[in-house]
């Protein structure tokens, strides 16, 4: 689903070390008034150092998640069941890489170069989403990712597209259109397995059981232990808390899973009709922190693939950066 329509954003020319300056209280108050009025902040506008730093962290992690996120499903392109499923999967994986491009561009507007971001990914300094550190063992895993991880991403992105930083919001709007299509293809593959043969349904149930804890982790730690939420929500970068987004996801998708006769591996999962909130057993948060800090089942493999791609693509980047010379080897007619 990669078409035209997105205008690449101009970078902010301010040097990164300007972030070290103490804030001017009047400028800070004027900035916060703009946020309260719901105005968009643009790259050339004054912004507090912490706002810029937080945005770089968050958008960069998001960009890394898209390009690493293409890998688990990407391993199934050659094994997708049938020509139409293969075509849809190729298009989806290509879209995810495109989302990475849009997001790196949005992060670059804040003054960090793409090269620096990629270096921080490859060195393990930058994080990316926990979910992509697990293997896609069967075709049912692809259906679970396409349906439920794309759904989880949409819950987060539709909310944050209404946030305060113009380039990130515009990138998210574009991404959400494409993610909605991904969700449909994931849901379609999911339903096909759910109403298929007993073996297909069992394969789907197994994938769902394995992916449920990482999906619960996806929205981040519980609000009481989220280090960035308060500041990000005050500045309207994050438009809902981790627990609220998790709750929105459960509200929209648990009924869809149950109505297909599937179960979820949490006996405590239920909606409390009095509070209107979903109750669940806390997933293992120690596992979450291990995985996001580089010790998940696939962290090493994911970074190894990215390093390989970085090395193999170096000559292409070098060729693209060459100045255009007067004499072309192959004259254009």
| Residue closest to ligand FAQ (Cβ) | 69
CB of 149 or CB of 169, closer to ligand FAQ: 149
Q: Does 221 bind ligand FAQ (CB under 6 A)?
A: yes
The dihedral sign for the CA sequence 206, 80, 292, 262: negative
Distance CA 286, CA 289 (A): 5
| Binding flags for ligand FAQ, 253-272, as an x/- string (CB under 6 A) | --------------------
Q: Name residues contacting ligand FAQ, limited to 223-252 (CB under 6 A).
A: 226-229, 232, 238, 242
Q: 284: Cβ–Cβ under 8 A, 6 or more apart, which residues?
A: 213
Distance CA 24, CA 185 (A): 50
Q: Name residues contacting ligand FAQ, limited to 31-50 (CB under 6 A).
A: none
Q: Does 133 bind ligand FAQ (CB under 6 A)?
A: no
CB of 27 or CB of 162, closer to ligand FAQ: 162
Bridge partners, residue 271, by sequence: 278
Q: Does 156 bind ligand FAQ (CB under 6 A)?
A: yes
Closest Cα partner for 241 from 230, 252, 254, 249?
230
Distance CA 327, CA 333 (A): 13
The site for ligand FAQ, by CB under 6 A, has a size of 31
Closest Cα partner for 40 from 25, 62, 58, 55?
55
Report, in Å, the least distance between residue 319 CB and ligand FAQ: 29
Among the listed residues 76, 139, 218, 253, the single contact to ligand FAQ using CB under 6 A: 218
Rg for the chain, CA atoms, rounded:
21
Q: Name residues contacting ligand FAQ, limited to 60-79 (CB under 6 A).
A: 61-62, 65-66, 69-70
Q: Does 299 bind ligand FAQ (CB under 6 A)?
A: no
CB of 46 or CB of 122, closer to ligand FAQ: 122
Cα separations in angstroms, 197 against 76, 140, 201, 266: 21, 13, 6, 25
CB of 160 or CB of 248, closer to ligand FAQ: 160
DSSP secondary-structure letter at 14?
Answer: S
Among the listed residues 193, 292, 298, 303, the single contact to ligand FAQ using CB under 6 A: 292
Which residue stretch of 14-22, 40-48, 59-67, 279-287 sits at the interface with ligand FAQ (rule: CB under 6 A)? 59-67
CA dihedral 166, 171, 175, 177 (to 10 degrees): 60
Closest Cα partner for 293 from 84, 113, 133?
133
* Residues at the interface with ligand FAQ (CB under 6 A): 57-58, 61-62, 65-66, 69-70, 96, 127, 129-130, 145, 149-150, 153, 156, 160, 217-221, 226-229, 232, 238, 242, 292
């Amino acid at each position: 689903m990669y078409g035209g329509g997105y205008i690449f954003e101009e970078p902010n020319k301010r040097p990164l070390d300007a972030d070290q300056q103490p804030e001017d209280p009047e400028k800070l108050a004027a900035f916060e008034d703009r946020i309260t009025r719901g105005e968009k902040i643009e790259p050339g506008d004054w912004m507090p150092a912490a706002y810029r730093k937080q945005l770089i962290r968050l958008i960069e992690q998001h960009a890394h998640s898209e390009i690493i996120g293409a890998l688990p499903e990407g391993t199934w392109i050659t094994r997708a069941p049938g020509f139409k499923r293969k075509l849809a999967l190729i298009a989806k994986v290509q879209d995810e890489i495109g989302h990475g491009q849009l997001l790196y561009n949005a992060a670059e507007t804040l003054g960090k170069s793409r090269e620096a971001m990629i270096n921080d990914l490859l060195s393990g300094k930058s994080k990316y989403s926990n979910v992509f550190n697990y293997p896609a063992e069967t075709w049912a895993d692809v259906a679970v990712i396409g349906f439920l991880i794309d759904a989880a991403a949409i819950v987060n992105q539709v909310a944050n597209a209404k946030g305060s930083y113009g380039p990130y919001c515009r990138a998210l709007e574009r991404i959400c259109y494409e993610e909605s299509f991904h969700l449909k293809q994931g849901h379609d593959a999911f339903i096909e397995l759910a109403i298929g043969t007993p073996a297909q349904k069992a394969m789907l149930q197994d994938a769902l059981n394995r992916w449920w804890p990482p999906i619960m982790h996806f929205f981040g730690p519980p609000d009481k232990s989220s280090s960035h939420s308060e500041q990000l929500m005050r500045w309207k970068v994050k438009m809902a808390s981790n627990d609220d987004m998790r709750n929105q996801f459960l509200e929209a998708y648990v009924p869809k899973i149950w109505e297909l006769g599937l179960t979820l591996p949490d006996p405590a999962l239920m909606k409390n009709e009095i509070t209107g909130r979903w109750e669940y057993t806390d997933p293992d948060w120690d596992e979450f922190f291990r995985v996001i800090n580089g010790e998940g089942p696939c962290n090493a493999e994911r970074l190894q693939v990215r390093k390989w791609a970085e090395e193999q693509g170096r000559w292409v980047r070098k060729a693209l950066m060459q100045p255009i010379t007067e004499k072309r080897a192959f004259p254009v007619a």
